[in-house]
Structure 1
């Protein structure tokens, strides 16, 4: 890599070396990062609290800088944004924002662009262990706070710069602590050194080990929701997402691979125009340093949920920077030694070049944003779909959460004015909404609702589909003609369910609502005895007949350890906290279906869950389970390292979860221990490769269909096509329809047997030989959205999606997919909830 001498000597030089050749005159009253921190940038990793403290000091010392807290992380670290511009612009920020927002509203007259600043947002360190960019944020903030050159003053007059020093503070500190704990003096460059190899799960994800760079669309996490609110407050013209990649690489900036890495909804002017304009500035900055780089390759611009893509859908230019990572302070690679300081220098150069390019092309960016939202309306008119209508009659919580996501993305949503039928699907007033395509956010509307089956390429950096309407399993339809809209929805409100009349016999809670599992666990935590009804019933209440689905929860009064009055207070509290309806009954005699004393009403055990963790296990999937139980159910789950599993007493656990991963560290003795635990009544829940592992180890009976093509590969394929050919054989993320057995305990709470599922693996399970145990199965035509090769689709057809194998008194529940993908698959979360709460009750008659 060019500049090898500079790499190792930079920390010993003046701070201004990072700004070469731009550094000239700096205000001595503004502290440098070095003077504040006590060490030179690049010598070590900086803790997030010290980063924030330095940014606060800049805001205190400079009239060019203000700082605001937009929220806090799960670990209570503040999320801060610096606003840097001229003092004159600071005095009129509200007016700047109002004028700028008019660009995004085609209904308003365009404001004059003559004195309108361009908005540049620099977002650093979304992946916690890609740590160089947070150091860059301090250098960049210092540069614009202290530099007194005429050029910089011009930039500050013509731009407003937002700096987010760490989009993932929790993950960053996890990585920073690791590197600092193992940093040598002198530093160790050997890639095998512990400093360069974090222990599982590493610092990439947030507190729950989620990849926040994928969360801009689903908004599963509070960091993302806080960040998005700031984004929509300003709608920046340029958004830079700073990343790192493998140590052996160089530097990447956009444009990406044409067409195949681009989203068809985004105007070509974005890719062919703005991207190429900025590429000249970024190339010049790195050329000036002698740094190697590449462009036009496979970094994804398709998915609107990336930080490096989201602004493309809002009239801005989103750009991903990828710098080869030292993963510590110095590490050997094929070109010599890569230092932390060198990685910081490159990112600093491209960040400063971004501001320069934005200002010198200010009106181009502003005109683009104005044209973008006008063209959205033009494109919408070409679409034969006039609106998407969606609704849900039984699960108000899931419907409300989906609507909240749309509103967070500034998508116009309207109430359904009256009951209507669209495409053979009934939509009820008060339980349905309309999203017109003719709106400025047309491109986001299409991203949320449209199914994608046509692609320019067969290799994907990540997911190939993200249709949220399918993820939430909501009834939805395409309206090809005008639909009468009701009132526009400004915000949703939770259903204000009142407690039913006090009963001396029983209360019943329908299992259909997404929040019902949380309510059930809350009851169990409070010591309330609960049961589930295995068949649908119709109960008589003071307000008339009430039909209840299988899985409904019965709370008999007489068997409780507390009085009827105390129980009623608990019921009131649980309804208030969880927003779920309950009814009270005065008799166990049902109007239809089984009575409450039937053998079909079974007593529930409070789940006590464990999940296996450690090297080889997919940390993101572990985090998804942890997040789901923590945030949705308020249920603790014990995280046990595979290396500790053999010595763990399993008797306290009702359920063990194993997600996708490799379980080579679970030895034969541990397998036998697990087998005994299952036979004694335990429930093992497995995802994807863990299901295949359970079958291989004899914990469950079943057949894994080979992912390899059976035909012999006799034809020759050019070596240059190897990546594309092999990549096309993967299942990178696509959506399918399965048939769900609604009578099975794992299907409780669903009203429609046709369920969309998300698949991103090549684990294929054959249907069970037990005719009762294939709970969900793909049909002959399961494909809904996303890329899949014909060979993979043929394997998916008629295979099993969800199986149960009973072993002694226990059972193994095998998911071919991940029902909790990215915290946004609300439609399949209930399958997992059912496995937790009802798994121990699965007992199939017969001998299979």
Structure 2
């Protein structure tokens, strides 16, 4: 053989060997994941060929997942990719759209025709050639990671498979793939597992690979559970996703999850009636869920995988990724796969591998596409009928419309209205002022939401108070009345209100800047944005004060009344010039959208003057929050998120283990959310006591309030969760779950009476305040008559489930206490005022604790202290 032929033969052999190295592992993987499919397009790379390792061998970084989906979109006319937004850590949120090439050429037409299903005012479109829309949403909890790997396999299968059956699926459907609903949390978990993965892999559940450090990868950047955020849409990921969702209104939405390692596989239907929302038509639960379940069961039966249905997980709360679609005429389904939390882990059945978890999710996801196509017209008709029945049900409702408004806090009113518009709820201006349910609603400061509208079921969820339930055990919250969460006066109207024009978007906020003053500026504390404005002023070195008594000032716009909490900014007391101060005032007014008033004199028209001893200088908060194992990461994240996003105020997040080394003198405010603080020994507790006594403000939530009382850091008394003196009755073992579950306080809403003259109550204009409770921390009112700032009313129950025994204990108990200790104080919340970034109504209590804690001095402390 001559040298030329020899070189050619060697080159050919090298090429074949390289091909074998690339293709043979892929063939093996395809045999595992796609045992029946042989006709794949070789021009489309498998995930293994693209990534350089087999799916299931390790966790894939999110950027590599996105890169693979981009490659599919580049190579195939069946796929296109778009960025719908960015996470807090600036990872792109992407959607891969897969459908037949001819459908890609008319996607906008398909979208517009599909949206007609949701508009009963328009004629129904022809269904014969209308594709069904399937949305596959993966990995909302970052450390439930198998499903993002599935997203690549599913995309590959639909794009590369040339079987006639798959071609039909693509002709009759549009499939949306969201590879990770929580990219930030996913990468946090991915990096942890890859960093600790052994070779060979370790299956021992105790191995570090399977046990992330606090806070873990479940939540997003702020450690929030994004699977609870579809209704409150507090986070940017949810806001981006909701906008895309309403752009298309998919017929079927799958929410992929993982559960305990010793579990099997779960898919819906959920527990009949008790785990279902009464507002949703029975055709969703008894019809579509049951129909699709047959396909999911068949797919898992073929693999020999065990599964269960009709247990544990609920479909009640509209804010789940698998429940929100039920409120939009689609069918949402939760998939739960036992988690290997790494490459492989021992469980009760042997060893659970990452690849096995991926294969199960892959099978049910592809079965969903099949089921959707084979029942295409049924799903399309259901969506059309859903919105038609929404109009009918809304018309039958005894409440014809809800009116809501806010006379003092334009920001809170605006945020709530923006939320309604994001959910495509019809909102109208109030044409003339009215009084309803004893409340005055003013034109220009109130809106009307009719119940006879396509989004009736979501309207009812947001406004109605619920006290009747099919079950007493809740997987999560038992109520989510957002009108109460925002503390907005609202009322149901028995007849249609006279409405003005429909609101489709809110006008840009603009405030008239104040005239320059050589004496002082004033800021009303009632507006939600006032807290952010105050911190920005302090950050810029401006001396700020707050008033403890009401007064009326003579402003350029005439006399204006100010209530306790109003911020005064004396010009002569500043370290900067009057001109520089004025520039700061202008900047803060524009950036925070608040209105300052300028005054030329300290002499008030009524009430105290601006030099009164009832005006106190404020300290800039230097805040710390303790974090770490045993502490509720959600609540830490809620504090962090609130201060970051609303106030732009930094807070130091310090692990419990570092407490002994901290220089506490650096901080004037410490926050302890609920959790276990047992790792703080007596020395640490004594340090904390001394810090408080020296003038610090300690703010505690729920079980942290109990801990502070038990450690003697604060004075108070805790009501036992159970009456241990009562006779113990026998209960059948089979009834343990419903009996014990009924005793928990699983998320319900109550009314408290708030002392609005107390610094912690500044800025509130009504003593009656709704609060959210999801714990059994119950505190007794303080012996000092001035220390109980908020107290549950005699009949406090507003919405949600509560047992009679718990309601008795909650009634008249303390919701917010102040315990003076030396020069400092402990502010004890029985509840969490920042729940899920949603409770704008009680956020101000926390703001007040942060900003006004240092000026609280409780009268009579020495006489009435315990």
- TM-score tier by shorter-chain length is over 0.9
What is the TM-score with the length of structure 2 in the denominator?
0.96
Indicate the residue corresponding to 1:4 in structure 2: none
Contact 2:26–2:46 (8 Å) recurs in 1? no
* Alpha-carbon separation, structure 2, partners of 1:153 and 1:711: 69
Deviation at 1:537, TM superposition (A): 1.0
Indicate the residue corresponding to 2:495 in structure 1: 481
Deviation at 1:183, TM superposition (A): 0.1
Q: Tell me, yes or no, if structure 1 residue 549 matches structure 2 residue 593.
A: no
Find 2:633's aligned residue among 609, 615, 619.
Answer: 619
Deviation at 1:13, TM superposition (A): 6.7
* Alpha-carbon separation, structure 1, partners of 2:740 and 2:401: 39
Q: Tell me, yes or no, if structure 1 residue 158 matches structure 2 residue 172.
A: yes
Indicate the residue corresponding to 1:301 in structure 2: 315
- Mapping for residues 166-315 of structure 1, pairs under 5 Å: 166-315=180-329
* Alpha-carbon separation, structure 1, partners of 2:858 and 2:317: 43
Q: Tell me, yes or no, if structure 1 residue 342 matches structure 2 residue 356.
A: yes
Deviations 1:540-589 (Å, cap 9, x if unpaired)?
Answer: 11111101110000000011111111111110000000001110110001
Mean Cα deviation higher: 207-216 or 497-506: 497-506
* Alpha-carbon separation, structure 1, partners of 2:854 and 2:208: 43
Deviation at 1:21, TM superposition (A): 4.2
Find 1:566's aligned residue among 559, 569, 580.
Answer: 580
* Alpha-carbon separation, structure 2, partners of 1:18 and 1:37: 18
* Alpha-carbon separation, structure 2, partners of 1:487 and 1:17: 61
Contact 1:18–1:348 (8 Å) recurs in 2? no
Contact 2:403–2:491 (8 Å) recurs in 1? yes
Deviations 1:225-253 (Å, cap 9, x if unpaired)?
Answer: 00000000000000000000000000000
Indicate the residue corresponding to 2:478 in structure 1: 464
Deviation at 1:20, TM superposition (A): 3.5
Q: Tell me, yes or no, if structure 1 residue 326 matches structure 2 residue 354.
A: no
Indicate the residue corresponding to 1:352 in structure 2: 366
User: Any stretches of 5+ residues in structure 1 without a counterpart?
Assistant: 1-9
Indicate the residue corresponding to 2:331 in structure 1: 317
Indicate the residue corresponding to 2:691 in structure 1: 677
Deviations 1:732-766 (Å, cap 9, x if unpaired)?
Answer: 00000000000000000000000000000000000
What is the TM-score with the length of structure 1 in the denominator?
0.98
- Mapping for residues 418-433 of structure 1, pairs under 5 Å: 418-433=432-447
Indicate the residue corresponding to 1:7 in structure 2: none
Q: Tell me, yes or no, if structure 1 residue 149 matches structure 2 residue 163.
A: yes
Contact 1:45–1:179 (8 Å) recurs in 2? yes
Contact 2:275–2:313 (8 Å) recurs in 1? yes
Contact 2:26–2:48 (8 Å) recurs in 1? no
* Alpha-carbon separation, structure 1, partners of 2:496 and 2:336: 45
Indicate the residue corresponding to 1:702 in structure 2: 716
Report the 3-state secondary structure (helix = DSSP H, G, I; strand = E; otherwise coil) of the residue aligned with 2:156: helix
- Mapping for residues 586-597 of structure 1, pairs under 5 Å: 586-597=600-611
- Mapping for residues 69-148 of structure 1, pairs under 5 Å: 69-148=83-162
Report the 3-state secondary structure (helix = DSSP H, G, I; strand = E; otherwise coil) of the residue aligned with 2:661: coil
Indicate the residue corresponding to 1:3 in structure 2: none
Indicate the residue corresponding to 2:377 in structure 1: 363
* Alpha-carbon separation, structure 2, partners of 1:563 and 1:335: 74
* Alpha-carbon separation, structure 2, partners of 1:650 and 1:234: 53
Report the 3-state secondary structure (helix = DSSP H, G, I; strand = E; otherwise coil) of the residue aligned with 1:133: helix
Report the 3-state secondary structure (helix = DSSP H, G, I; strand = E; otherwise coil) of the residue aligned with 1:508: strand
Indicate the residue corresponding to 1:733 in structure 2: 747
* Alpha-carbon separation, structure 1, partners of 2:36 and 2:607: 80
Indicate the residue corresponding to 2:702 in structure 1: 688
Find 1:524's aligned residue among 525, 535, 538.
Answer: 538
Contact 2:643–2:651 (8 Å) recurs in 1? yes
Deviation at 1:493, TM superposition (A): 2.9
Contact 2:409–2:527 (8 Å) recurs in 1? yes
Deviation at 1:37, TM superposition (A): 0.2
Contact 2:255–2:335 (8 Å) recurs in 1? yes
Report the 3-state secondary structure (helix = DSSP H, G, I; strand = E; otherwise coil) of the residue aligned with 1:769: coil
Indicate the residue corresponding to 2:593 in structure 1: 579
Contact 1:120–1:162 (8 Å) recurs in 2? yes
Deviations 1:429-475 (Å, cap 9, x if unpaired)?
Answer: 11100000000000000010000100000000000000000000000
* Alpha-carbon separation, structure 1, partners of 2:705 and 2:289: 44
* Alpha-carbon separation, structure 2, partners of 1:284 and 1:486: 54
Deviation at 1:499, TM superposition (A): 1.2
Contact 1:11–1:42 (8 Å) recurs in 2? no
Indicate the residue corresponding to 1:509 in structure 2: 523
Find 2:817's aligned residue among 776, 793, 803.
Answer: 803
Mean Cα deviation higher: 117-126 or 12-21: 12-21
Structure 1 pair 11–637 and aligned structure 2 pair: CA distance change class (3 A)? farther
Deviation at 1:425, TM superposition (A): 1.0
Deviation at 1:357, TM superposition (A): 0.2
Deviation at 1:495, TM superposition (A): 2.8
Contact 2:26–2:49 (8 Å) recurs in 1? no
Structure 1 pair 311–823 and aligned structure 2 pair: CA distance change class (3 A)? same
Q: Tell me, yes or no, if structure 1 residue 716 matches structure 2 residue 730.
A: yes
Contact 1:11–1:41 (8 Å) recurs in 2? no
Deviation at 1:709, TM superposition (A): 2.9
Deviation at 1:143, TM superposition (A): 0.5
* Alpha-carbon separation, structure 2, partners of 1:418 and 1:623: 42
* Alpha-carbon separation, structure 2, partners of 1:18 and 1:406: 46
* Alpha-carbon separation, structure 1, partners of 2:551 and 2:800: 39
* Alpha-carbon separation, structure 2, partners of 1:700 and 1:788: 29
Q: Tell me, yes or no, if structure 1 residue 642 matches structure 2 residue 667.
A: no
Deviation at 1:424, TM superposition (A): 1.9
Task: Answer with 1 or 2: which has the greater Rg.
Answer: 2
* Alpha-carbon separation, structure 2, partners of 1:409 and 1:23: 41
Contact 1:530–1:603 (8 Å) recurs in 2? yes
Deviation at 1:17, TM superposition (A): 2.7
Indicate the residue corresponding to 1:794 in structure 2: 808
* Alpha-carbon separation, structure 2, partners of 1:346 and 1:713: 49
Mean Cα deviation higher: 823-832 or 480-489: 480-489
* Alpha-carbon separation, structure 2, partners of 1:289 and 1:811: 62
* Alpha-carbon separation, structure 1, partners of 2:725 and 2:428: 52
Deviation at 1:478, TM superposition (A): 0.5
* Alpha-carbon separation, structure 2, partners of 1:555 and 1:64: 63
Deviation at 1:422, TM superposition (A): 1.5
Residue correspondences, number: 839
Contact 2:526–2:763 (8 Å) recurs in 1? yes
- Mapping for residues 737-748 of structure 1, pairs under 5 Å: 737-748=751-762
Report the 3-state secondary structure (helix = DSSP H, G, I; strand = E; otherwise coil) of the residue aligned with 2:43: coil
Indicate the residue corresponding to 1:404 in structure 2: 418
Deviations 1:808-827 (Å, cap 9, x if unpaired)?
Answer: 00000000000000000000
* Alpha-carbon separation, structure 2, partners of 1:507 and 1:717: 66
